[in-house]
Structure 1
Amino acid sequence: MDMETVSQFLLGNHPSWEFLNSTEAGSRILQQHRENPLVVPLLALLPFLFMALFRFYSTSPVVLSYNDNPVSIRLYNKKNGRIRSENFVEYIKSRCPSLFDPTKRAAFKPTLWMTNGHLQTAYAAFVGFENVYRIDYERELLSTPDGGTVAIDWAPSFEKKPVDDTPTLVFLHGLTGGSHESYIRALAEVMMRDHGYRCAVFNARACADSPLTSAQLYCGAYTDDLRLVVKHIRKTLPEAKLVGVGFSLGANILMKYMGEEGDKTELMAAMSVGNPFDLLGTCYNMERGYLQRKIYSPTMGASLKRIFFKHTNMFVNSKIVNLEEVKRAITIRQFDESVTRRVFGYRTVHEYYRMGSSSQHILDIKRPFLCLSALDDPIAVEWCIPRDEITENPYGLLATTSHGGHLGWFQGFFSQDRWCTKPLEEFCVAMFEADRRPISESPDYLKFDR
């Protein structure tokens, strides 16, 4: 558009203004414009200006926090067969543009009508994305020493992809979730479709329609089932390298397990997403915030009760669980008081929360790990993030965004997808592809230099 055209438009003499003369209201607008030439153009530009400002202030740059002296990761060059070491954080920065991109400024841009953490969380809870991220699982039931049962959902099936050295991503779901959750399916689809990796979802006891065969559910402090599952996956896939990813309560279980195992774990890396970290702090948050107290806590408590009463027969003759007390429970804390802490032998519910918090195990983790959190998460709240512990650990990397809610991070306007899938994909690929050889050909792949 040349300056003469712009001048004609501003003066009201451009042919595009002729349609206004056809109506009385249009004539008044045209007359107003000729008297004040900038009013109408400014009014027309105002929505775009508001949208630009809104987008500017709602964009969440990724903030990285890490140790000043991180470990070095070993990289194998398949062309010359040589191994070299590279600073872990610098290696991740160079291969994960969604976490660090100095030219494009790595950031999460939320859906315009979902910049609030509560809206992101609600959308994540109620939209299942049934028509996308279709995964065909093959289920395997695994018995535990106490007579319990956990389910492992494999994708692809072993019929489609027989046992080999394919890198495998081990998933842990959130509270009462399972392999059907959209945040799991979204990442699993990308890892299989774009990279040819294998996925294994650990479904906790009684979750995802798995049977309950003992008078014990699961909790955020109990890591023995995960330990059993990891050992089983290693036995099933002796040549495959493993990376774990946990969401919400599953992230807490994963990171607690990583700290307990230290350098003995079979997982070469871990990713923690929306981790509450401090279960007692999360409990207090659930009791103080209005929406947390009135909506979140009762909703999560109801989900736990549904699973419990689906398997009431396992607790009918229980001497430690009072069914009437469980029926009266409304909040998640009340459920944990009447069921969880008693089943797992804690003297008080707060003792369970304190001892079950993964934050106290962060410093003991001896494998590279990424913690991804949204600062407006109304459940896994910002002030429970163990920043000091993560940055003190040379294996750790913390990535935060201002927006995202709880397991949300929805972007796009007419159709939404999760932004978090991309950085998780990039981190996982970076770890697996550092040395793509099978375990028997890379015996030192779990060694990291200081």
Structure 2
Amino acid sequence: ASFRGVLTNGGRGGGGGGGALLRRSSSIRELPRRFSRQLSRRRSSLAESLPDTPAGWAASTAVLSSFALGYELRLQRSLTAPPLVFSQSNPRNDALRETLSRRRPGGRKGILTRDIKPSLWVGTRGTLSSAAAYALPHFGRKRRGECELNARLNFREVMTMGRDGASVGIDWEVPPEKYDSSLCRRKTSEERQSEILEGPIRKPVVLILHGINNDASFGYVRSLMRACTDRGWIAAGYNFRGCGGVPLTTPRGYTGSYTGDIRDAVQQICDRTASPSVPVFLVGNSLGANLITKYLGEEGYSGTLPPNVAGGVSLGNPLHIHSGNMSFPWAQVLGLGVRKSLFLTRDKWSQMTCRNFRAAFLKALLVCQTIGSVDDTLAPYLIRNDPVYPFAVTVGYPDAGEQYWDDASSYKYVQHVSVPLLKVTAQDDFLVYGSSLRKMSHCLECPNVTVVKTRCGGHLGWQESPPEEQREGEGRGFGTSSWADAAAADFIEAIIESRRKSDKEEEAIKKAREEEVEAEVAAARRRRKEEEREGGGRGDDDDDDDAGNAHMERRSTSEREGYIAARVAAAAAARREADEIRSRL
């Protein structure tokens, strides 16, 4: 009783501390009841404020929808802007930029000058734009004049790589044939397919590479393939080894550094073309963009790029591959995709007799959680190639992940690219924008690279509202289209147009040179005849021909000697540059 009195009479007899403690504990016990009463009052007030009739509900929904739409329209306007373009100033880049900036046929604005207007709800958010690009197939309508008898031809070819016997799948999409008259004989599907598989290929070919954990069936690849065939080119969707349903025939799958498969595939396609003037283009997405940049840099450094390869497009290229560039949750998501690939191809790598090899793959499959830890575990057993000719194939990175990431980073090779290359990155790309921005200066060191930065687009998304001048049938479906598809196609078309102009100029120069030689020969003959008349009729027509031929021979000999001297000087300069770059590497 005395203890109870002390607690209850807290202010008396020195018991104030105990009373305060009791009041505090009772107030804590009251908190749930107070919260429940407040929640009940708010629920009742909310229930009273809700409409009682369907008309009231409709009005409330309309008001909320108008507020949401107004916010979305303001967000769309804030993101609508033309892209930023960076490149060195030289005749080739200036000509390409001028072509891509002027109005296209039909009144369309140039791809580098018109605003990129993101689609509502999807294009305005980088993550949703990327998800739509991955998930949505192409739902383009048929083009006018296209019928079932003259439709696009789709088929798959399985190529065997000559370096280690690996298999990759090429998904071909061939545009409809064009005939001058309805009386012309129509080619069968077998004949059209034979032209692709055996040659000769007479149309431009666009080889498109997908990203990590994807294949050529993903929406962004199919959409770009359709954009190419709409312009009359042949599109080829490249599936990395072990991807797209093509069985893995070697224990080692694709990596972010090995370019041997691309090299073999490009060479096989170039060998089927009718002539070196038939252009072949490379378009890479994400990891595929990194690989084509590395391939073009390696070939440009060694001077071994096939003459058919006329240019490339790099979309969402990270430039610098490193585990530190991946944050949560994307490092875990990409790691899960790689582990899934390892599980699906376990029948191949589990046959290896090397215990360390099998143990590393089991650890990557069962223990590793992020893409960085998977790379670090498998790096000593990954396939790789030397960066210089003859690009010898070896296995393993002794220093594990750091050495692999350093070898895979394409920023080290981009300055050696010898053909026009368009690199496109979005500011809201949550995967690669940071690493790409930090290494952008390496791209601008190359006179052949054009860097384009967009305000929106996400990772490989670029979902935009179709512009008013959008051509019929274009788009990814659901009222959206891809700005990147149009940019890549316009860039390729500009290169083709530039090559045609240069071919015409070379032809005109050659013709003018021949006419100049003929004029000099004729002048030599006239001088010879005048000398004969002055000298009493010496010589005959045969002497005239001999004099003209001798003049032509002297001219051709001097030109040949000058050409050889120029080639020797160029080779010496290339060797000096190669030695300097090799010392840096």
Q: How far is the alpha carbon of 1:368 from its aligned partner?
A: 0.7
Q: Partner residue of 2:475?
A: none
Q: Does 1:244 align with 2:282?
A: yes
Q: Distance in 2 between matches of 1:52 and 1:284?
A: 36
- How big is the alpha-carbon RMSD for the aligned residues of Structure 1 and Structure 2? 3.3
Q: Which residue of 2 aligns with 1:164?
A: 201
Taking the TM superposition and a 5 Å limit, the aligned residue runs for 1:131-280 are 136-156=154-174, 159-160=191-192, 162=195, 163-193=200-230, 195-239=231-275, 240-262=278-300, 263-266=303-306, 267-280=309-322
1:91 corresponds to 2:103: no
Equivalent residue in structure 2 for 1:355, among 390, 407, 414? 407
Secondary structure of 1:201's aligned partner: strand
Task: Tell me, in whole angstroms, the C-alpha distance in 2 between the residues paired with 1:176 and 1:238.
Answer: 35
Cα separation, 2, equivalents of 1:279 and 1:421: 25
The aligned runs of 1:79-118 (5 Å cut-off) are 87-94=95-102, 97-101=109-113, 105-118=114-127
Shift of 1:392: 2.5
Q: From 70, 78, 81, give the equivalent of 2:90.
A: 70
d(CA) in 2 for partners of 1:431, 1:339: 40
Q: Deviation of residue 59 (structure 1)?
A: 1.6
Radius of gyration: which is bigger? 2
Further displaced range: 168-177 or 335-344: 335-344
- Comparing both structures, which one devotes a greater share of its residues to strand? 1
Q: Distance in 2 between matches of 1:409 and 1:130?
A: 14
Instruction: Tell me what 2:464 maps to.
Output: 411
Where does structure 1 lack aligned partners over 5 or more consecutive residues? 1-22, 30-41, 74-85, 445-450
| Map of 1:76 onto structure 2 | none
Structure 2 equivalent of residue 435 of structure 1: 499
User: Is contact 1:321-1:343 (8 Å) kept?
Assistant: no
Residue 246 of structure 1: SS of its match in structure 2?
strand
Distance 1:94 1:416, change over 3 A: closer
Deviates more, 1:333-342 or 1:171-180: 333-342
Question: Which moves more between the two structures, 52-61 or 214-223?
Answer: 52-61
Deviation at 1:341, TM superposition (A): 4.5
Query: 1:310 Cα deviation (Å)?
Result: 1.6
How many aligned residue pairs are there?
A: 381
Match of 1:342 in 2: 381
SS at match of 1:426: helix
Superposed displacement of residue 213, structure 1 = 1.2
Matched with 1:83 is none
Equivalent residue in structure 2 for 1:325, among 341, 344, 363: 363
The alpha carbon displacement at 1:419 in A equals 2.1
- Aligned residue for 2:297, secondary structure, equals helix
SS at match of 2:499: coil
Verify the 8 A CA contact 2:426 2:456 in the aligned structure 1: yes
Q: 2:80 aligned with 1:59, yes or no?
A: yes
Name the CA shift for 1:55/1:268 in 2 (closer, same or farther; >3 Å).
same
> In structure 2, how many angstroms separate the alpha carbons of the residues matched to 1:390 and 1:435?
23
| Structure 2 portions without partners, runs of 5+ | 1-52, 142-151, 175-188, 384-395, 467-477, 510-585
Which deviates more, 208-217 or 326-335?
A: 326-335
CA contact (8 A) 1:111 1:410 kept: no
Cα 1:89/1:318, change in 2 over 3 Å: farther
Q: Is the partner of 2:160 in helix, strand or coil?
A: strand
Aligned CA distance change for structure 1 residues 176 and 150 (closer, same or farther; 3 Å): same
The match for 2:449 is 396
Contact 1:252 1:357 in 2 (8 A): yes
Which residue of the partner structure matches residue 14 of structure 1?
A: none
What are the Cα deviations for residues 353-395 of structure 1, in whole angstroms up to 9, with x where unaligned?
1111001111111111100111111111234333212222211
Amino acid at match of 1:90: E
Whole-Å separation in 1 of the counterparts to 2:90 and 2:217: 36
For the residue of structure 2 that corresponds to 1:145, the secondary structure is coil
- Greater shift after overlay, 218-227 or 309-318? 309-318
More displaced 10-residue stretch of structure 1: 217-226 or 313-322 = 313-322
In structure 1, what is the Cα distance between the partners aligned to 2:426 and 2:403? 27
Aligned with 1:426 (options 476, 490, 513) = 490
C-alpha distance in 2 between matches for 1:205 and 1:246: 16
- After superposition, give the CA deviation of every residue in 1:181-211 in whole Å (9 maximum; x if it has no partner): 2111111112112x21111222211011112
Q: For residues 247 and 64 of structure 2, what CA distance do their matches in structure 1 show?
A: 62
Deviation at 1:43, TM superposition (A): 11
Deviation of the 1:138 alpha carbon: 2.9
| Higher relative contact order, structure no. (Cα contacts within 8 Å, ≥ 6 residues apart) | 1
Question: Whole-Å Cα distance in 2 between the matches of residues 99 and 122 of structure 1?
Answer: 24
- Partners of 2:127 and 2:496 lie apart in 1 by 35
Once residues 411 and 140 of structure 1 are traced to their aligned partners in structure 2, the CA distance between those partners, rounded to angstroms, is 35
Q: Distance in 2 between matches of 1:221 and 1:189?
A: 28
CA shift digits 1:241-276 (9 cap, x unpaired):
111100000000000011111153231111000111
User: How far, CA to CA, are the matches of 1:415 and 1:72 in structure 2?
Assistant: 36
Kindly state the Cα deviation for residue 51 of structure 1 after the two structures are TM-superposed.
4.9
| Cα distance, 1:165–1:211 mapped onto 2, change above 3 Å | same
Q: Secondary structure at the match of 1:333?
A: helix
Among residues 315, 319, 325, which one is paired with 1:285 in the alignment? Answer: 325
1:123 aligns with 2:163: no
C-alpha separation between the residues in 1 aligned to 2:65 and 2:240? 55
Q: Looking at secondary structure, tell me which structure has more helix per residue.
A: 2
Secondary structure of 2:191's counterpart equals coil
CA displacement, residues 334-362 of structure 1 (integer Å, 9 cap, x when unaligned): 22122245223112212111111001111
Are the counterparts in 2 of residues 59 and 110 from structure 1 also a CA contact under 8 Å? no
Structure 1 residues 4-19: aligned runs within 5 Å? none
AA aligned opposite 1:174: G
Give yes or no for contact 1:58–1:109 (8 Å, CA) kept in 2: yes
Q: 1:411 Cα deviation (Å)?
A: 2.4
Question: Cα distance 1:242–1:355, how it changes in 2: closer, same or farther (>3 A)?
Answer: same
CA contact (8 A) 1:271 1:371 kept: yes
Contact 2:161 2:264 in 1 (8 A): no
Task: Tell me the TM-score normalized by structure 1.
Answer: 0.76
TM-score by length of 2: 0.59
Q: Which amino acid aligns with 1:160?
A: R
**1:313 aligns to 2:347 (yes or no):** yes
User: How far apart in 1 are the matches of 2:68 and 2:340?
Assistant: 46
1:94 maps to a residue whose letter is R
8 Å CA contact retained: 1:61, 1:106 = yes
Are the aligned partners of 1:165 and 1:241 in contact in 2 as well (CA < 8 Å)?
Answer: no
CA distance in 2, matches of 1:330, 1:48: 40
Instruction: Evaluate the alpha carbon distance shift between residue 415 and residue 107 of structure 1 in structure 2; reply closer, same or farther with a 3 A threshold.
Output: closer
